Amino acid sequence: MKSSKRVVMLVDCQSFYASVEKAEHPEYKDRPLVVAGDPERRSGIVLAACPIAKSKGITTAERLGEAVAKCPDLVVIKPRMQRYIDVSMLITDIYKSYTDLVEPYSIDEQFLDVTGSMHLFADTPKEMARIIQAHVQAATGVYTRFGIAETKILAKTACDNYAKKNPSGIYTLTKEMLPETLWKRPVSDMFMAGSRMTRHFNAMGLLNIGSVAQTPLVKLKQMMRRKFGKNSDIQAEMYWRIANGIDDSPVRSGTHQVAPKSVGHMMTLPFDYREFDHILTPLLELTELVCQRCRALGFMGHVVSVGCMGADFDRPTGFSRQMKMEDPSNITNQVYHWARRLLETYWDGLPIRRIGVSLTQLTPDNEYQLSLFDTDRERQMALERTTDALKLKYGNAIVIRAVSKTAAGQALDRSAKIGGHYK
């Protein structure tokens, strides 16, 4: 790779959750291990499987019972999401000791641009990858794989298709190599091409990635218009650029720090909620979470949205509606008043299993219109700030509403979880 080109790496942590657990439980070093959800709450699926478990035929997202049937001596560990976040942040700090251009892609994948710093640590990108790989493994016990390229899309492609299968865990992919490597692979291996899109490409006679890349963009747009309609030009260009490894986007350390367009929370309930009063409890809890997050971000919303859904996805029921409040707000009781009105107006009386609340049309919360009829706003804001500070220091369960202690409440259970899994 010439020095004039960018040096971008996509670093992936192998079987991340399982690797963290194996590093902290050396007695399981040579045993098949999976991290799986909580079967008691209908989430008994495999979240991560170590390489030994994968060699037994166990795959991510399969049911835990099926995994145990394949491997009776399987070690099953419940997820500890807070621990995984902590290790991920530690790994991020390691990356930042080599470059200030580190962009998280997921909890176990991050982009690094080492173009400007590589000369401080190594003579070649591959050598630098080996140095970082050894550093992460020594500090955390987690094995990392590196896709190296001059663009983010090629680095991601190199990691997913080659580095993960390479004994060294490192693979460099240049644009010059594409005709003899990536282009020969089936179109199903192309980034962003799922099973449905693969079938569409095959129906158009595009069987491998090279056939997509070598189709003139104008012709590919015409082919996709015939298949999907006139609004498919952007999609056609996206796949054409991916197949050709074209990606102008930089690695940005602040990519995920932009102002949000909306703030929302949604939860799947542990059983069908059939009574209006019971549904109000998670509605209030979600509203409180949304407003708490808005206050932390320094925003208030003008439009509140509520969505409810039944358990049968083949015969969908429920609604998703929004309403503009009289004034923007991030005060829980004010937003809940409007959220309740939406539920009262649009709920059809059928049982629900999923519910969500969100705020949109966000504005900074340090500027708002004073109202002669809202004389209690400052007192309510002071109370919200106080409870927010307590929750930040001691956890959300330190202050809860009385209704959350009822059978319909979910706040206590959710406070012990991150992303639906126990901390």
Whether 189 has a binding-site annotation, put simply, is no
In which residue are the tokens 């299993």 written? 353
Point out which residues pair with 301 in neighbouring strands: 329, 362
Task: Report whether 13 contacts 159 (CB < 8 A).
Answer: no
Whether 108 has a binding-site annotation, put simply, is yes
- CA angle centred on 79, ends 74 and 82, rounded to 5°: 150
CA dist 222 and 212 (Å) reads 13
Burial of 30 (0-12, 13-18, 19+ CB in 10 A): exposed
Nearest to 104 by CA among 249, 301, 252, 275: 252
CA dist 294 and 258 (Å) reads 14
Catalytic site residue from 21, 103, 109, 288: 109
Burial of 352 (0-12, 13-18, 19+ CB in 10 A): buried
Tell how strand 8-13 and strand 144-149 pair up: antiparallel
Nearest to 99 by CA among 200, 11, 194, 221: 11
Nearest to 82 by CA among 107, 112, 114: 107
103 in active site:
no
Tokens coding 197: 């899109």
CA dist 419 and 107 (Å) reads 12
Nearest to 7 by CA among 94, 92, 177, 126: 126
Q: Which amino acid is at 314?
A: D
Tell how strand 144-149 and strand 170-172 pair up: parallel
Query: What are the helix (H) ranges across 298-362?
Result: 332-346
DSSP secondary structure code for residue 281 in this structure: H
Run of H or E residues at 327: strand 318-329
Task: Report whether 36 contacts 185 (CB < 8 A).
Answer: no
Active site residues: 109
Binding residues: 12, 108
Binding residues for Mg(2+): 12, 108
